[in-house]
Structure 1
Amino acid sequence: MATILVVDDELGIRALLSEILSDEGHTIEVAENAAQARAARERMRPDLVLLDIWMPDVDGVTLLKEWGGAGLLTMPVIMMSGHGTIDTAVEATKFGAIAFLEKPITLQKLLRAVEQALVKTSPPRPAPAMPGLPSYAARPEHASGLGNLSGLPSAPVQGINSQPSHLPSSGSSMGGAPASEQSFELDRPLREARDAFEKSYFEFHLAKENGSMTRVAEKTGLERTHLYRKLKQLGVDLSRNKRGTSG
């Protein structure tokens, strides 16, 4: 995960971006003006900077020019503005910005821009080819011999009535991925069976996404606030799946 500096004079924007990006596993530092941004950049050497254009003391484009002129633009910078124009975006790009986000920033655009900026600046890590093996075996997703298991179908239901059924769970794992099946009795009231299934379903996705509420919300099609309420209602232990807590 990356270390990201968020520079914006609006407290609400800083808090929102920090929450979303922290939830994705990134380390976040915030600054509300150019002076704080300079100090934070020197102290933490961020992997990425999200920089607001319109700030009260020194605007973002001026700060971008300053970093570029001093040879300090060693990290990608994504510019943000609620009043930006095409000319502003072109100017920012000319002085070293890698992307431009217009406020209000949608969740999908933010995550996509951050991911693309980090991928572009990450050094490639090619896996060495293994002699005597087909060329596809050298690809990273085949290095373990298991490949990408995310597209495989889950185990089929083994019966109805009172027979155990295999349903998603976050229990034991194989190859680092959450288990895709769990046995539990169907011979119970409908509400209890439904709650048990939903709890297993959400625990599976939390484990699969390493506790990222943002990605679980996208995968399950639920709004984040509703998802939090649902998990609390089902008694799902969020701390167990949260990054950096217990794995």
Structure 2
Amino acid sequence: MAQVLVLEDDAGLRFAFSEALENAGHSVLPAGDPDSAIAHLKRQVPDVLLLDLMIGNSYSTDVANYAAFAVPDAHVIYVTGSGLFPKGELFDMCRNARLILRKPVDLQELTDLVSHICPATPTAKTASA
């Protein structure tokens, strides 16, 4: 199963996403802000980054861009409730973006997508310093 970094500033959604992924057998690294997410990326090598597009008043694209450098094989799934980038512009902005999910997110669909992207992937890899 996959190791998934979940960046979501809404604690309730972060918990729901994390629980659903863990119940599906995935390992989760929860983060509530970009700094925490990048700190996880410096210690661990996730297979998937589940990023809320809007974190406060900023975008999570900085985390995706850092991951493209530090963890180039990681897949990025954006989650958004906004109407920004309706024509898939995020795929041009973030080279490792794979999917964009619109809120409200169906948790079964989320876990199925992560399992599809990373079938039987080893977890708990450590970033090399």
TM-score grouping bracket, smaller chain normalisation: 0.7 to 0.9
What is the Cα deviation at residue 59 of structure 1? 1.3
Work out the CA distance in 1 between the residues paired with 2:2 and 2:11.
22
1:79 counterpart residue number: 78
What is the Cα deviation at residue 114 of structure 1? 1.1
Structure 1 pair 34/89, CA: closer, same or farther in 2 (3 Å)?
A: farther
Q: Which runs of 5+ in 1 are unaligned?
A: 123-247
Relative to total residues, which structure has the larger strand share, 1 or 2?
2
Q: Deviations over 1:97-119 (max 9, x none)?
A: 00011111012321232122214
Asked if structure 1 preserves the Cα contact closer than 8 Å seen for 2:4 and 2:46, the reply is yes
Q: Secondary structure at the match of 1:49?
A: strand
- Confirm whether residue 3 of structure 1 aligns to residue 6 of structure 2: no
2:124 counterpart residue number: none
The two structures, once aligned, show a CA RMSD in angstroms of: 2.2
Counterpart amino acid of residue 88 in structure 2: V
* Regions of 4+ moved over 6 Å: none
Work out the CA distance in 2 between the residues paired with 1:89 and 1:30.
29
What is the Cα deviation at residue 56 of structure 1? 2.2
- Confirm whether residue 41 of structure 1 aligns to residue 41 of structure 2: yes
Q: Secondary structure at the match of 2:46?
A: coil
1:65 counterpart residue number: 65
Q: Deviations over 1:124-158 (max 9, x none)?
A: xxxxxxxxxxxxxxxxxxxxxxxxxxxxxxxxxxx
What is the Cα deviation at residue 83 of structure 1? 1.0
How many residues align? The count is 119
Q: How does 1:93-242 map to 2 (within 5 A)?
A: 93-94=91-92, 95-96=94-95, 97-119=97-119
Asked if structure 1 preserves the Cα contact closer than 8 Å seen for 2:2 and 2:114, the reply is no
Work out the CA distance in 2 between the residues paired with 1:9 and 1:88.
22
What is the Cα deviation at residue 88 of structure 1? 5.0
Asked if structure 1 preserves the Cα contact closer than 8 Å seen for 2:2 and 2:115, the reply is no
TM-score, normalised via structure 1 length: 0.44
Asked if structure 2 preserves the Cα contact closer than 8 Å seen for 1:48 and 1:75, the reply is yes
Q: Secondary structure at the match of 1:14?
A: helix
Structure 1 pair 22/15, CA: closer, same or farther in 2 (3 Å)?
A: same
Work out the CA distance in 1 between the residues paired with 2:115 and 2:67.
22
Percent pairwise identity: 29
Counterpart amino acid of residue 91 in structure 1: E
Work out the CA distance in 2 between the residues paired with 1:71 and 1:31.
17
TM-score, normalised via structure 2 length: 0.80
Structure 1 pair 25/112, CA: closer, same or farther in 2 (3 Å)?
A: closer
Which range is displaced more, 90-99 or 32-41? Answer: 90-99
